């Protein structure tokens, strides 16, 4: 859906609440993994990337250790390529370390149908054999079409399929906020 | 912005934006070639047919590999080993391929316009892999990619193409593409091998190679075909080597920053000396690798058309 044809219905989460959610997820990641050993963060393009960087910064603040972070582009692994009008633009995957034997925390902004995560799992496994893959997301909006769940969730937000959850990061967008958009 | 065309026939009717999109896509494709698992599932279920009416080793191999890296099914047909040898027409052969489910037909043919003719008559995407002396767009794109990769940009660069310009689809395609991206293109070669009115394509023409090499950033050396000498277009191989051959002395004169390219196959010791071909300024082997990435990018971009785009989250 084209966001330019949509209007803002509601601000669901403001910048302060987003910051608190990121802090909590960072603590949960450390707790579940009992520290930072073998841990790496990989953000899915586009908005999984700033979230992964924020989590890395927060974890560094807490533990004093900078986790390796990478960027995953899932375009070539999408399951809808034979049904889209134009091929989506392919960007680079930038993971400057070996993921074999690592505990990978995959990071994305919104978990919806689960298809992006499915594509990301296939893309990761072509790059190596991680010890574990965990999933961290800012918003879980429901409507799953595949058996996929997140390990770390910023907020669960039940939505209707006509709505769009738009997570904004000040690195890319104007400010930090989670907006609910609907068709005009 | 995305490539919105059924066929890819040449760089003459492609926009600067489209060229840049292909180059950008090829960057991600090249990354795949350096991984342990050198394959992505992107074109599963798609069929690519290589229809080669002219002998070709590297272009055919490169297209084959590109299709396989993207998980497409690929079939190659050469002139000698098919019904083409029995006299079947180009169109009949292509229609047969189409009925068998070809999504993309890659064609190499000695007749200029063969790819365009095919494109107008079949519904599969047609990709020109060289039509006579007309166009060879994937070679030009991989040349441009190789320049951009090494020198960072195309605009403002001085690119010299040396050799048999008249019979070269590689030269023509490079001129179209490089001009669109803002490079200054010049050609050098014996007057008998420079087409009349080539200046109208927006290039400078030199018959003196040493003058042409002044302040040059890129030298793209074309293969000299022996049969041209037999038909009297230049006096002797030895004379060609003296006057137009790229040798160590000329390499030193253009400086360390300038790069050397050759589309292959090379005549070592004629148009290019071995010490030049194997120098640190030469990107000749990298060109081969970049060819696979460029062809992957084009197959990817051409295979996705029709139907509606939807976000997935």
At CB < 8 Å, which residues of chain B contact A? Answer: 1-4, 21, 24-25, 27-29, 31-32, 35-37, 39-42, 45-46, 70, 297, 300-301, 303-313
pLDDT of B202-248, one tens digit each? 999 999 999 999 999 999 999 998 777 788 888 889 999 999 999 99
Give the whole-number percent of chain A exceeding pLDDT 90.
88
**What pLDDT does B166 receive?**
94
Domain boundaries, chain A: 12-183
Using pLDDT thresholds of 50, 70 and 90, give the confidence band for residue A81.
confident
Phi, psi of A166 (to 5 degrees): -115, 105
**Could you give the count of Cα atoms lying within 13 Å of A101 in the half-sphere of its Cβ?**
4
Query: Once rounded to an integer, what is the mean pLDDT over residues B15-44?
Result: 96
**Does the structure show a pLDDT above 80 at B310?**
no
Domains and CATH numbers, chain B: 7-135+288-306 (3.40.50.1370), 137-283 (3.40.50.1370)
Q: How far apart are the first and last CA of chain A?
A: 12
**What pLDDT does A11 receive?**
93
Grouping H, G, I as helix, E, B as strand and the rest as coil, residue A158 is: coil
Q: Is B264 annotated as a binding residue?
A: yes
Query: Once rounded to an integer, what is the mean pLDDT over residues A119-125?
Result: 98
Choose among A92, A101, A37: nearest CA to A70: A92
Q: Which residues of A touch B311 (CB under 8 A)?
A: 1
Strand pairing report for A177-183 and A6-13: antiparallel
**What pLDDT does B2 receive?**
61
Q: Do A87 and B41 touch (CB under 8 A)?
A: no
Mean pLDDT (chain B) is 92
B16-33 vs B169-180: helix crossing angle, rounded to 10:
110
**Does the structure show a pLDDT above 70 at B308?**
no
Using pLDDT thresholds of 50, 70 and 90, give the confidence band for residue B1.
very low
**What pLDDT does A84 receive?**
73
Q: Is B169 annotated as a binding residue?
A: yes
Residue A110 C-alpha, separation from nearest chain B C-alpha, in angstroms = 7
Residue of B nearest to A165 (CA): B313
pLDDT of B138-163, one tens digit each? 999 999 999 999 999 999 999 999 99
Q: Do B300 and A88 touch (CB under 8 A)?
A: no
Using pLDDT thresholds of 50, 70 and 90, give the confidence band for residue B304.
low
**Does the structure show a pLDDT above 90 at B46?**
yes
Rg (CA), chain B: 20
Place of tokens 């990354």: B31
Place of tokens 């005009």: A184
pLDDT of B175-204, one tens digit each? 999 999 999 999 999 999 999 999 999 999
Using pLDDT thresholds of 50, 70 and 90, give the confidence band for residue B313.
very low
Name the residue among A77, A86, A141 with its Cβ closest to that of B309.
Answer: A86
Q: Is B223 annotated as a binding residue?
A: yes
Helix (H) or strand (E) holding A66: none
CATH architecture of A12-183: 3-Layer(aba) Sandwich (3.40)
Residues B17, A183: Cα–Cα separation, whole Å: 31
Report whether B144 contacts B202 (CB < 8 A). no
Q: Do B304 and A84 touch (CB under 8 A)?
A: yes
Q: B30 to each of A59, B60, B106, B289, how far by Cα in Å? A: 33, 18, 20, 8
Name the residue among A85, A111, A126 with its Cβ closest to that of B309.
Answer: A85
Q: Do A84 and B31 touch (CB under 8 A)?
A: no
**Does the structure show a pLDDT above 90 at B309?**
no
Cα angle B249, B252, B253 (rounded to 5 degrees) comes to 90
Question: What are the tokens at B152?
Answer: 């960072």
pTM of the complete model beyond 0.95: no
Q: B131 to each of B52, B127, B135, B137, B197, how far by Cα in Å? A: 10, 11, 6, 10, 21
Q: Do B28 and A76 touch (CB under 8 A)?
A: yes
pLDDT of B77-93, one tens digit each? 887 777 777 778 999 98
- The separation between CA B2 and the C-alpha centre of its own chain, rounded to angstroms, equals 21
Question: What are the tokens at B23?
Answer: 């180059």
**Does the structure show a pLDDT above 80 at B127?**
yes
A127 touches chain B (CB under 8 A): yes
Strand pairing report for B104-109 and B125-131: parallel
Strand partners, A134: A105
């Amino acid at each position: 859906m084209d966001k330019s044809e949509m209007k803002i219905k509601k601000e669901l989460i403001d910048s302060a609440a987003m910051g608190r959610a990121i802090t909590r997820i960072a603590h949960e990641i450390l707790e579940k993994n009992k520290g930072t050993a073998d841990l790496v963060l990989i953000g899915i393009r586009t908005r999984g990337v700033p979230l992964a960087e924020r989590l890395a910064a927060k974890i560094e603040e807490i533990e004093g250790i900078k986790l390796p972070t990478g960027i995953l582009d899932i375009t070539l692994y999408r399951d809808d390529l034979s049904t889209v009008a134009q091929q989506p633009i392919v960007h680079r995957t930038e993971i400057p370390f070996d993921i074999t034997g690592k505990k990978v925390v995959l990071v994305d902004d919104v978990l919806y149908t689960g298809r992006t995560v499915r594509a990301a799992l296939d893309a990761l496994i072509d790059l190596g054999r991680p010890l574990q893959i965990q999933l961290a997301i800012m918003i879980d909006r429901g409507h799953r079409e595949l058996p996929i769940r997140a390990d770390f969730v910023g907020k669960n937000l039940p939505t209707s399929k006509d709505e769009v959850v738009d997570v904004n990061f000040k690195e890319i967008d104007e400010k930090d906020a989670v907006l609910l958009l609907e068709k005009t | 912005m995305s490539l919105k065309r059924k066929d890819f026939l040449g760089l003459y009717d492609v926009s600067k934006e489209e060229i840049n999109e292909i180059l950008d896509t090829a960057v991600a494709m090249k990354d795949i070639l350096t991984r342990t698992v050198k394959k992505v599932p992107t074109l599963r279920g798609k069929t690519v047919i290589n229809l080669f009416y002219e002998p070709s080793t590297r272009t055919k191999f490169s297209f084959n590999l590109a299709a396989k890296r993207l998980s497409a099914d690929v079939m190659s047909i050469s002139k000698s080993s098919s019904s083409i040898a029995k006299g079947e027409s180009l169109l009949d052969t292509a229609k047969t391929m189409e009925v068998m489910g070809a999504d993309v037909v890659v064609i190499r043919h000695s007749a200029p316009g063969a790819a365009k003719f095919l494109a107008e008559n079949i519904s599969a995407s047609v990709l020109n892999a060289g039509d006579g002396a007309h166009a060879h767009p994937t070679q030009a794109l991989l040349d441009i990619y190789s320049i951009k990769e090494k020198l960072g940009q195309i605009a403002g660069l001085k690119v010299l193409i040396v050799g048999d310009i008249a019979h070269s689809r590689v030269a023509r395609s490079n001129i179209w593409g490089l001009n669109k991206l803002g490079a200054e293109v010049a050609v050098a070669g014996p007057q008998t091998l420079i087409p009349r009115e080539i200046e109208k394509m927006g290039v400078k023409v030199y018959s003196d190679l040493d003058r042409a090499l002044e302040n040059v950033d890129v030298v793209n050396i074309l293969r000299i075909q022996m049969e041209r000498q037999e038909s009297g277009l230049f006096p002797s191989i030895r004379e060609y080597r003296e006057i137009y051959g790229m040798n160590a002395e000329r390499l030193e004169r253009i400086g360390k920053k300038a790069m050397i390219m050759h589309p292959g196959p090379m005549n070592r010791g004629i148009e290019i000396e071995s010490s030049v071909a194997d120098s640190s300024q030469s990107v000749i082997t990298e060109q081969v690798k970049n060819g696979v990435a460029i062809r992957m990018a084009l197959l990817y971009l051409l295979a996705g058309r029709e139907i509606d785009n939807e976000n997935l989250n």
